[in-house]
């Protein structure tokens, strides 16, 4: 065989070999998800391209693409979501440890931005802004009216660290507009709302979410309470919708002896991953009670489930939300992202607490809380509609159930004895909050010497808050109803006092006053008294 023929045969053999390899590769992809995923991707692109070039009318292809992405995500499960690039920073900031801004808490009332509180040590405090100030101008432009909303305000006030914003402010008792140039800086986002001694020896910690800094905040709270004599703890996870799983795992680790399962997760393409305690926690022997309700979800349920399955403490309240799916956020090429469900998580006993759902029927899933209310579950333990066919055992042999949230060890129903149509109206319209702000604003100088919530409560007990509020609500269109007001009197006064106290003293003035007569908190204290 001459060189020319040998080269030709070699080329043919290489071509055949490449063909076999390519065929095998395509066959594998066609049988798996690779090729089908590529085809689906190219089909969507092809359709959008055809629409863009040949459709009878002009179409905003970018907007249509965003809608398609949202629709695809919604077809998977209730917690997989597509996040447009424009929204990603705002969505992520909810769980980050800080953001850059001017350092105020605000509320929009009467189409005006009202500063409710100035964050200590923040940029606004340094230039002299005060609680009660009204922001009427931003960068020399009028910024009041019906078109302003929370999103627009945050876009104006937040920004890169070191950038400046000029505010025009109206202050009570001052006729002219005051102008402040504020340099934006890092503002902490706290997830531990309050940590205080609720009774001698008992520390109370309320955690509102599981964010980047939650574990470090929690450790600081434990250290502070221990220095004040805490030997038992109440962890309040009510209305905590979750966040980062790692933060919940680290928190649980503080309470468990070595080698205990905290949580494990697994999925189709997500190998089983386990988290176990290392025995180095700071509260391994301290009694603990965890408070949950129907809005406690995800990482809150990981914490509660680990405490319950390890028989480490009591869970008190109402059945939790039932979110047992793990999401990973993946950035796309245009800086948008998808939070994709990649696994389910399981409590130490092996139960999935994810409640049932049908793919593509997010609306039915979201109606679950309303259906619980309609069935009477929030008012009676016997009305709880959750499957109990699959039983699991805690480490101590107690029976627990999966498939629909964490069932508390002690059920505490809602207290509806003080509910009236009048109360519902003034709550729904935000009149309690509005009146409290107005009262705080008018009486700020009088209230300034008050140093704690006990003093505030005593002082406000001597004022005509309720009658004054009734006039305020009537002027807003809610007529007084003496019979209903009498039924709701205690609740109305408690809320008004707590909001006023918060406006002057911050969270340390709010929660201890609000929870003074809370039935779930009282139950927790009673149970802890039994623990030596």
Choosing from 77, 212, 309, 409, which is the catalytic residue?
309
- pLDDT over 90, % of the chain: 52
Compare 36 and 278 and report the one with higher pLDDT.
278
Known catalytic membership, residue 87: no
The CATH 2.30.42.10 domain(s) of the chain lie at 100-188
Roughly how many angstroms between the first and final C-alpha of the chain, as a whole number?
96
Least confident of 128-142, 450-464, 475-489: 128-142
The reply to whether 212 belongs to the active site is no
Distances in Å between the alpha carbon of 406 and those of 43, 143, 375, 411? 43, 46, 18, 11
Instruction: Give the whole-angstrom CA distance, residue 359 versus residue 356.
Output: 10
Reading the block at residue 315, the tokens are 């869970």
Residue-level pLDDT at 387: 57
Ranking 39-53, 192-206, 376-390 by mean pLDDT, the lowest is 376-390
Q: Are 255 and 236 in contact (CB under 8 A)?
A: no
Range list of β-strands (E), 219-277: 232-236, 261-267, 270-276
Q: At 404, list the tokens.
A: 């629909």
Q: State the pLDDT at residue 119.
A: 80
pLDDT at 97: 62
| 309, 341 contact by CB (below 8 A) | no
CATH 3.90.226.10 boundaries in the chain: 192-414
- Model pLDDT, residue 259: 97
The mean-pLDDT minimum among 63-67, 498-502, 505-509 falls in 63-67
CATH code for the part of the protein at 192-414: 3.90.226.10
Into which CATH architecture does domain 100-188 fall?
Roll (2.30)
Half-sphere exposure in the Cβ direction for 472 (13 Å, CA):
19
Dihedral (CA of 447, 453, 459, 465) sign: positive
Catalytic residue among 191, 298, 300, 440: 298
pLDDT (tens digit per residue) in 259-279: 999 999 999 888 999 999 999
Distance CA 44, CA 277 (A): 46
**Which tens digit of pLDDT belongs to each residue from 144-165?**
988 888 888 888 888 888 999 9
Cα separation, 477 vs 471, in Å, equals: 10
The answer to whether residue 31 scores a pLDDT higher than 70 is: no
Q: What is the pLDDT of residues 357-401, one digit of tens each?
A: 777 676 777 788 788 888 888 888 877 766 555 789 999 999 988
**Contact yes or no for 300/249 (Cβ under 8 A):** no
Tokens of residue 286, six digits: 């301290």
Q: Is 103 or 237 the better-scoring residue by pLDDT?
A: 237
Q: What is the DSSP secondary structure assignment for residue 387, as one 8-state letter?
A: -
d(CA 70, CA 240): 26
Task: State residue 246's pLDDT score.
Answer: 94
Report pTM: 0.82
Q: Is residue 182 within 8 Å of residue 127, measured between CB atoms? A: yes
What is the pLDDT, as a whole number, of residue 21? 45
Comparing 90-104, 175-189, 346-360, 432-446, the range with the smallest average pLDDT is 90-104
For residue 182, what pLDDT band results from cuts at 50, 70 and 90? Answer: very high
What is the pairing mode between strands 164-170 and 399-401? unpaired
44: left (phi over 0), alpha (psi -120 to 50) or beta: alpha
The pLDDT of residue 67 is above 90: no
SS in 3 state form for 135-184? Answer: EEEECCEECCCCCCCHHHHHHHHCCCCCCEEEEEEECCCCCCCEEEEEEC
pLDDT at 30: 41
Percent of the chain with pLDDT strictly greater than 70: 89
Q: Which of 323, 368, 497, 501 is catalytic?
A: 323
Average pLDDT of span 411-421: 92
Confirm whether 334 is a catalytic residue: no
Structure tokens at 520: 């779930």
User: How far apart, in whole angstroms, are the C-alpha atoms of residue 49 and residue 20?
Assistant: 33
Residue 350 has pLDDT above 90, yes or no: yes
- Position 80 scores a pLDDT of 87
Residue 389 has what pLDDT?
A: 55
pLDDT surpasses 80 at 458 = yes
Residue 8 confidence (pLDDT): 46
């Amino acid at each position: 065989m001459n060189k020319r023929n040998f080269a030709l045969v070699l080329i043919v053999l290489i071509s055949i070999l490449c063909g076999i390899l390519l065929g095998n590769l395509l066959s594998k992809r066609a049988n798996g998800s690779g090729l089908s995923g590529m085809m689906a991707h190219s089909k969507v692109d092809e359709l959008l391209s055809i629409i863009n070039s040949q459709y009878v009318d002009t179409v905003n292809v970018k907007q249509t693409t965003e809608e398609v992405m949202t629709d695809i995500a919604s077809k998977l499960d209730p917690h997989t979501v597509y996040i447009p690039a424009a929204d990603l920073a705002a969505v992520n900031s909810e769980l980050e440890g800080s953001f850059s801004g001017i350092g105020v808490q605000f509320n929009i009332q009467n189409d005006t931005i009202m500063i409710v509180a100035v964050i200590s040590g923040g940029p606004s405090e340094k230039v002299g802004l005060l609680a009660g100030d009204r922001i009427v101008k931003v960068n020399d432009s009028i910024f009041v009216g019906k078109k302003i909303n929370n999103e627009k305000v945050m876009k104006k006030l937040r920004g890169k660290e070191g950038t400046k914003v000029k505010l025009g402010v109206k202050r009570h008792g001052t006729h002219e507009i005051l102008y402040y140039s504020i340099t934006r800086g890092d503002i902490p986002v706290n997830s531990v709302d309050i940590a205080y001694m609720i009774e001698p020896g008992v520390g109370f910690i309320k955690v509102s979410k599981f964010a980047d800094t939650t574990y470090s905040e929690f450790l600081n709270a434990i250290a502070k309470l221990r220095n004040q004599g805490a030997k038992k703890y109440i962890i309040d996870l009510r209305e905590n919708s979750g966040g980062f799983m790692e933060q919940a795992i680290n928190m649980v680790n503080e309470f468990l002896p070595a080698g205990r399962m905290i949580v494990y997760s697994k999925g189709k393409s997500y190998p089983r991953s386990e988290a176990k305690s290392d025995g180095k926690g700071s509260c391994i022997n301290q009694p603990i009670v965890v408070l949950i309700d129907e809005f406690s979800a995800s990482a809150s349920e990981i914490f509660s489930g680990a405490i319950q399955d390890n028989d480490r403490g009591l869970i008190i309240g109402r059945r939790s939300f039932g979110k047992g799916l793990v999401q990973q956020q993946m950035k796309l090429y245009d800086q948008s992202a998808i939070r994709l469900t990649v696994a389910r998580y399981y409590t130490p006993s092996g139960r999935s607490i994810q409640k049932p759902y049908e793919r593509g029927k997010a609306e039915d899933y979201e109606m679950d809380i309303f259906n619980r209310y309609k069935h009477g579950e929030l008012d009676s333990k016997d009305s709880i509609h959750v499957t109990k066919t699959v039983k699991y055992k805690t480490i101590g042999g107690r029976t627990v159930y999966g498939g629909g949230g964490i069932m508390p060890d002690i059920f505490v129903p809602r207290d509806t004895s003080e509910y009236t149509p009048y109360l519902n109206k003034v709550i729904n319209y935000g009149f309690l909050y509005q009146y409290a702000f107005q009262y705080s604003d008018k009486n700020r100088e009088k209230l300034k010497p008050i140093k704690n919530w006990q003093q505030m409560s005593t002082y406000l007990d001597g004022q005509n808050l309720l009658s004054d509020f009734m006039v305020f609500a009537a002027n807003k269109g809610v007529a007084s109803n003496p019979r209903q007001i009498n039924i709701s009197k205690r609740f109305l006064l408690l809320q008004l006092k707590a909001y006023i106290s918060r406006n002057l003293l911050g969270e340390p003035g709010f929660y201890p006053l609000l929870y003074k007569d809370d039935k779930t908190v009282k139950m927790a204290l009673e149970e802890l008294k039994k623990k030596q």
